[in-house]
Amino acid sequence: MPVGKATTIKEVAQEAGVSTQTVSRVLNDRPDVAPETRQNVQAVIDRLGYQPSALARSLKQPRRTVGVVTAQLGQYGPMRRLLGIESKADELGYSLHLSLVHNPETDNGERLLNDLLSWQVEGVIWSVPEISHNRSWLLNKVSQLNVPILFISEQPNNVVPAVSVNNRAGSRLATEHLVTQGYQHIGLITGPLSWDVACQRRLGWQDVLLTPQDKQIFEGDWSAKSGQQGLQQLLQQYPKLDAVLACNDQMALGAMQVAHQLGIRVPEDLGVVGFDNTPEAAAYWPPLTSVRQGLNYMGDLAMQKLHHIIEQQNSGAAVTPSQEMLLPELVVRQSSVMAGQSG
């Protein structure tokens, strides 16, 4: 055989003295092949080094598909969750059909869902942030869908299966840590308070401080720039400020930059805690204390749960919406640890 020329299934069949259909049955491990024939064909395949075309096999045996609707992929959290979904989907034999909501504040994603359903996906993971009432239509529509849908990263409900993280508990952990370190005047830089996740993180902070004042809060937009603006404004309206919880690491970075520019020492004059525990958090100076959510695992678990639901429905079993609420943990670093104190 000429060097570089790939062996074809027809050549394997001729060499083995069987039909191409028989070779195909052997390749697909079909039971309707006599043992001696299977052994003969496999020996020829091995001798000729035949490799079936991955493209041809995929066309004959297409992978199962699930849809994912997401938003804000420029942000760390949504991106990490998507990576977790994709990795587990590949492991389970699914392809992803990804749809992106570009403006989650104004687009509820209904058009994208209808498009996904037209592609005959077996299920949908909905990872669009919960903003105001942008999910009301979907909760009302669930009973009309012929495929399962699962929410990720938002508050649990009794209608749709969900994988969530307890943002309130994470913010509470961060604020309690600052209190135990001796900080007494703790400010908060939130995300947009129309977002449920931002509201939950604000509630956790309030749980610890009980009756904080409005002047201790600045509403940011998740960007480092809003973290800069947030610390500048908090220092003006609440001069006693000695610590700040920024509701993501990017805003914490902005706050730390302003502190450095103003000669405010972190953590001696100002304790700083972030949220998300991005890989860069350990490289901030000083290294940033942050709340770890397990974002990859959230995506992994969401895909596992959706697969389980799909299999249940395919077998005719009844499916009860289940809720999975993950507990975050605090990763303590130098930005929030007073001299002589421990984490």
**Cβ partners under 8 Å of residue 45, min gap 6:** 12, 23, 26, 27
- List the one residue out of 170, 251, 249, 250 whose CA is nearest residue 217: 251
| pLDDT tens digit at each of 343 positions of the chain | 444 457 888 888 999 999 887 887 787 776 678 888 988 988 998 888 887 765 455 555 567 899 999 988 888 899 999 999 999 999 999 999 999 988 887 777 788 888 888 888 999 999 988 887 777 788 778 778 889 999 987 676 777 899 999 999 999 999 999 999 999 999 999 999 999 999 999 999 999 999 999 999 999 999 999 999 999 999 999 999 999 999 999 999 999 999 999 999 999 999 999 999 999 999 999 999 999 999 999 999 999 999 999 999 888 887 888 889 999 999 999 999 987 665 4
pLDDT of residue 112: 87
Task: Name the CATH architecture for the domain at 64-166+295-327.
Answer: 3-Layer(aba) Sandwich (3.40)
pLDDT of residue 62: 61
pLDDT of residue 72: 86
- Cβ pair 138, 148 in contact under 8 A: no
- Cβ pair 269, 242 in contact under 8 A: yes
- Write phi, then psi, for 96 (nearest 5 degrees): -105, 140
SS (H, E, C) the chain: CCCCCCCCHHHHHHHHCCCHHHHHHHHCCCCCCCHHHHHHHHHHHHHHCCCCCHHHHHHHCCCEEEEEEEECCCCHHHHHHHHHHHHHHHHHCEEEEEEEECCCCCCCCHHHHHHHHHCCCCCEEEECCCECCCCHHHHHHHHHCCCCEEEECCCCCCCCCEEEECHHHHHHHHHHHHHHCCCCCEEEEECCCCEHHHHHHHHHHHHHHCCCCHHHEEECCCCHHHHHHHHHHHHHHCCCCCEEEECCHHHHHHHHHHHHHCCCCCCCCCEEEEECCCHHHHHCCCCCEEEECCHHHHHHHHHHHHHHHHHHHHCCCCCCCCEEEECCEEECCHHHCCCCCCC
Domain chopping of the chain, boundaries = 9-60, 64-166+295-327, 167-293+330-336
Virtual CA dihedral for 288, 293, 299, 304, nearest 10 degrees?
Answer: 140
Superfamily of domain 167-293+330-336: Response regulator (3.40.50.2300)
Q: Same CATH fold, 167-293+330-336 and 64-166+295-327?
A: yes
pLDDT of residue 3: 43
pLDDT of residue 4: 44
- Its CATH class, for the domain covering 9-60, is mainly alpha
pLDDT of residue 155: 72
